[in-house]
Amino acid sequence: MFIGDIVGSPGRKAVSDLLPGLRDRFELDLVIANGENAAGGNGITPDTAAEIYAAGVDVITCGDHLWDQKEVEVLLNEEPRFVRPVNYPAGTPGQGSAIVNREGLAPVGIINAQGNTFMRGELDNPFRRVKEEIKKILPQTSVILLDFHAEATSEKIAMARMLDGEISAVIGTHTHVQTADEFIFPGGTAFLCDAGFTGPHDGVLGRDWEPVVERFLTSQPRRFPVAKDRILLQGVVIEIDGATGKATGIKRVSEALKQ
């Protein structure tokens, strides 16, 4: 299972409360989550990451809010289950991919990359960097998932088309809006343009809606507190043939937390 961007304490609670039931229902072997908004809606810290791992998440990916909390350096330097975008410049702390080895399960490679379209332009070309990372992982496993943290749908689809048949799945994150385009491409690569987000859906992308509207009306800075209600865990469950690395099933998930 891949869990869409976890937003603040409501998102962390959704993972803690709902993931055990989802693990049983879908007989999950591995859980990956994007945690770049886990700490108060901005970035991630060792404490918030520990809470997510304790809830049953195996690997945490990130995105453009990677540097919002200075404590993230601890995760980058010391946590092998934490993956940041692979296309940061050479010498950046941390790792752009990880491989999970578990008894009775084929090794699983997880890559994180950040898009360039409408995003921070100083990062390396994600298409080239992802290709290079796949070459490094393939000798160890053919089961590979990419969290492509990007704004433009065209960039996400293009990435998946390029990688069809080379990896198991390309799952988009960042927009916080779950798309309905889940599909397995002819070469066996599962795709979803955006996994959505895990947290409060009664505002605007996880934030209270009033200051967001004020920002649009006045063009003046506003603080955007994390919203509180209609909490959902969103993501996707992917079935993969461990022998071939081909995806055989994909299903969107949007589970409500009872409040």
| Number of domain units in the chain | 1
Contacts of 126 (CB under 8 A, 6+ apart): 85, 86, 87, 113, 114, 115, 116, 148, 150, 159
CB 12 within 8 A of CB 55: yes
Selecting among 65, 149, 174, 201, the annotated active-site residue is 65
Only one residue has tokens 């330097």, namely 77
In this prediction, residue 36 carries a pLDDT of 95
pLDDT value, residue 190: 98
For the question of residue 65 being annotated catalytic, the response is yes
Determine contact, residues 27/199, Cβ cutoff 8 Å. Answer: no
pLDDT for the residue numbered 130: 98
**Which residue range is the domain that position 39 belongs to?**
2-256
Please tell me the pTM assigned to this model: 0.95
pLDDT digits (tens, 9 = 90+) for 21-79: 999 999 999 999 999 999 999 999 999 999 999 999 999 999 999 999 999 999 999 99
CATH code at position 242: 3.60.21.10
SS3 207: strand
For residue 118, count CB atoms less than 10 angstroms from its CB and return exposed for 0-12, middle for 13-18, buried for 19 or more: exposed
Q: How far is CA 71 from the centre of its chain?
A: 20
* CA nearest neighbour of 159 among 173, 175, 177: 173
Give the per-residue pLDDT at 187: 98
- Residue ranges in the chain whose pLDDT is less than 70: none
